Amino acid sequence: MRDNRRNSRKRIGLKRCYQNIFYMLGVVIRYTPGYFVNLCLFQVYCAVQVFFEFTYTLKTVLDFITEGAEYAEAVSYLLLMFAMVLVKLVWAAWMENVAAPRAQEILHKKLRMELYRKAVELDLERYDDPQFYNEFVWSINEAATRVDLILQDFGSFLNQAAGMLANGVFFVTLDLFGIVFIVLSLGVTLAANSYIGRLQFARDTELKPIERKRSYFNRIFYLNDYAKEIRLNPVAEQLKQEFSETNRKVYPIVDKYGKKNALAGLVGDFFSNDILMNGAYLGYLVYQTVVRGALSYGSTMALFNASSSLKNSLRNLAMILPKFEQHGLYVEKIRTFQAFESGMECGEAKPEAGGFEELSMENVSFGYGKDADTLHDISLSVRAGEKIAIVGYNGAGKSTLIKLLLRLYDVQQGQVKLNGRNIREYDKESYRSLFATVFQDYKIFAAAIADNVKMDVTLETEREEIEHALEKSGFADRLASLPGGVDTPLTREFEEEGVNLSGGEAQKVAIARTFYKYCPVIILDEPSSALDPVSEYQLNQAMLDVARDKTVIFISHRLSSTVMADRIYMLEQGRIIEEGSHKELMGRNGKYAQMFRMQAEKYNMRNGSVMQCSEGAHVRKPT
């Protein structure tokens, strides 16, 4: 692991690190140019003001006393210093309370928007790559904090550099040789702090996977998703034990790098400050003043004071520069993520409006990462207007098949075709716009019901269409009970008046998305898993009514869904083992018929037009 970190650092190099800093500063200039200029001027002004207040004023006042200057001249000078201090205080208050917070909000928003846009463009397979996913999460979480730290350190750099320049000019004017002591002190401190910066980055990199795991345990104990499980099962003790074991992995890493940091800091500080500055340089000044008489008392005191300021500026610069190197390494991860380009081939063709004729798979095979193939030699076709069911036990590959049809992943062998044309020739977004989809693991967002249905900006003119879609999904009665109607916020994460829906209610809202969205193909991955049989029947009837002229592909284990299908594909271990209508498959008495009969206790088929559910509900058999 250590070798990998060293190779990573060598690979991007010091030059690249500083290019990354300039890149991030360019982002700041692009989004908040006025604040950036203001920050630079403010930091330079502060440094110059401090030089005059604490160094040049000391020399001037002592010279006034020893040389017998006019009192009015001294008062005028002191009033000028007071005015400079007042300007700094007012400027600092405005920067801290007005300019910086406003610029920070703009920067964070713009930078996150860039990253969010890139995240949406990510190929889904990237989520299956742990290393890339770690970098992805790191970039999203780190970007706003990192730009703040870079701005903070850049401001400090300008301040210290301006102070160093002011004191340096003062030194050159009065005693050029004294600079030698400062340069030597800088070299020692810079080397020590550069080494410490590399150690800190190595430590953070080594701790990052452990921190992610600790964060996972943290989420488990505060997220609502896990609240019931950890209260009803003894898993909490096991999780706390694993959390403690994870923490124990942190201690040796912290100790290892902490000892090295302490030693490097001690050696650098002792040689740089105590030996070179407080010892050698002080002795030099005494010699120049007392023995040679080359300096006045005012100049001597001012130089010694300036040496302290210059020493601190150099020390701070020596600490800041390695931070830029460290920032550059972090920014490299952000830039790598931003530079990511989709690996999916994407043509420019766009499906003709209303021109859906057939969707087909030809000898398709696919597997996730290095895993064995999830799907093997799949061939199927879905023609316009057909109702297709895909069935099989868990792990058969049903959801993976749907993801390939939606081109969330690219097939590894074979082809997926739309109207006889490979889907890789189509524009990806235009192709996906043909489908209205509800997955088994659908998500409800902390937003109004209307926004959860439309999944876009909601306009007043669309309310009737949204309400109509909710009515078709069976949510009308629940909607009528909500005072806010479609404006009712879902979840209570941000609003106290928010509503937490039951599993079945939430699923109806998710399904309403397919009724609202005008698409020729509807795909439902386990659409009725959270619905009772009566609601399922109502959903299926609504689906048939709304989708008479549409193609419907659904994954289901429920009889009321599969019976109505024009064609059924049964998967087992990633292969299509049976194909046909319900009647045909029952006549073959194969795996489908076996699975169907296993549900006989729940669904009892009767002669005629009615099928009875074990829950006691009577459902009209679809024709």
Cβ–Cβ < 8 Å for 67, 102: no
- Does residue 610 carry a pLDDT above 50? no
DSSP code, position 531: S
Alpha-carbon Rg of the chain, whole angstroms? 35
pLDDT in tens, 543-574: 666 677 788 898 876 666 777 789 999 999 99
345, burial (CB in 10 Å: exposed 0-12, middle 13-18, buried 19+): exposed
User: Which among 27, 11, 9, 23 has a CA at the least distance from the CA of 103?
Assistant: 27
pLDDT of residue 534: 61
pLDDT band at 276 (very low <50, low <70, confident <90, very high): low
Distance (Å, rounded) from C-alpha 282 to C-alpha 449? 74
Separation in Å, CA 223 to CA 138, 231, 498: 21, 13, 17
Q: Kindly report the pTM of this predicted structure.
A: 0.63
Torsion sign, CA atoms 133, 137, 138, 143: positive
DSSP code, position 386: -
Residue of higher predicted confidence among 477 and 65: 477
Cβ–Cβ < 8 Å for 391, 562: yes
Q: What is the SS3 assignment for 92?
A: helix
pLDDT band at 540 (very low <50, low <70, confident <90, very high): low
C-alpha angle 494-499-501 in degrees, rounded to nearest 5: 125
- Taking residues 477-498, what's their average pLDDT? 88
**Which residues are CB-neighbours of 360 under 8 A, at least 6 positions away?**
379, 380, 381, 382, 416, 417
- Does residue 404 carry a pLDDT above 70? yes
Q: How many CA atoms lie within 13 A of 612 on its CB side?
A: 7
110-119, 151-160, 303-312: lowest mean pLDDT where? 303-312
DSSP code, position 271: I
Q: What percent of the chain has pLDDT over 90?
A: 23
Tokens of 338: 């931003």
pLDDT in tens, 43-74: 999 999 999 888 888 888 877 877 777 788 88
Residue with tokens 């969330």: 408
246-250, 254-258, 273-277, 615-619: lowest mean pLDDT where? 615-619
Cβ–Cβ < 8 Å for 525, 359: no
pLDDT band at 293 (very low <50, low <70, confident <90, very high): low
Residue with tokens 């064609």: 567
In single-letter form, the type of residue at position 433 comes to: S
Convert 239-252 to b/e letters by CB count within 10 Å (16 or more is b). Answer: eeeebeebeeeeee
138-152, 412-426, 567-581: lowest mean pLDDT where? 138-152
Beta strand ranges found along 320-412 (DSSP E) = 358-366, 375-383, 387-391
- Does residue 613 carry a pLDDT above 50? no
- Does residue 34 carry a pLDDT above 60? yes
- Taking residues 325-338, what's their average pLDDT? 84
